[in-house]
Amino acid sequence: MITEKIEALLQEKYQEPEFADCFTIEIKQEGGNRLEVFIDSDSGMQFEKCQRISRFLEAHLDTNGWLGEVYTLEVSSPGIERPLKFARQYLRNIGRTFEVRLSAGETKTGVLKAVNPESIVLEEEIKWKEGKKNMKGTVQTVIPFEHIAKAIVKISFS
């Protein structure tokens, strides 16, 4: 299948020093001749890296004819609105607000405070009443990666 061939080519490209911190998020083939490749990097995905990877893949697609003569190839970073898939993606987002849907169905919203090999630490604002007073505080919750169904960085315009 073509996605496996593309993944093998990407793994080859990631061996080059300037692409060593890159990793594949997703490869999608749609309609037979449309290919979307989402890649990320521990140091952030710049346009130039995407462009060079795209040209690398195009050369192989053209030479091998895997998608025919007319095809669409899109190589990009996953974008802020896409759910995070790998633990290493969380590291660049410490200090940002997340919405985390747990596999049990509950949703938590808070600031990502730490990332550990097995979990994240999310700081949530909580509210409660003491007598007639409304109180506010924060609580830090450790969430194991295996309990995360979906995690998205929340964009704030304030």
Question: What domains sit in the chain, N to C, each tagged with a CATH number?
Answer: 2-76 (3.30.300.20), 87-153 (2.30.30.100)
Residue 82 pLDDT grade (very low, low, confident, very high; cuts 50, 70, 90): confident
Residue at 89: amino acid letter: Q
- pLDDT recorded at residue 31: 80
Residue 22 pLDDT grade (very low, low, confident, very high; cuts 50, 70, 90): very high
d(CA 77, CA 99): 20
Mean pLDDT of 33-49: 91
Residue 45 pLDDT grade (very low, low, confident, very high; cuts 50, 70, 90): confident
d(CA 152, CA 158): 18
Residue at 146: amino acid letter: E
Residue 157 pLDDT grade (very low, low, confident, very high; cuts 50, 70, 90): low
pLDDT tens track for 60-81? 999 999 998 899 999 998 877 8
> Which among 96, 110, 106, 103 has a CA at the least distance from the CA of 144?
103
Mean pLDDT of 96-108: 94
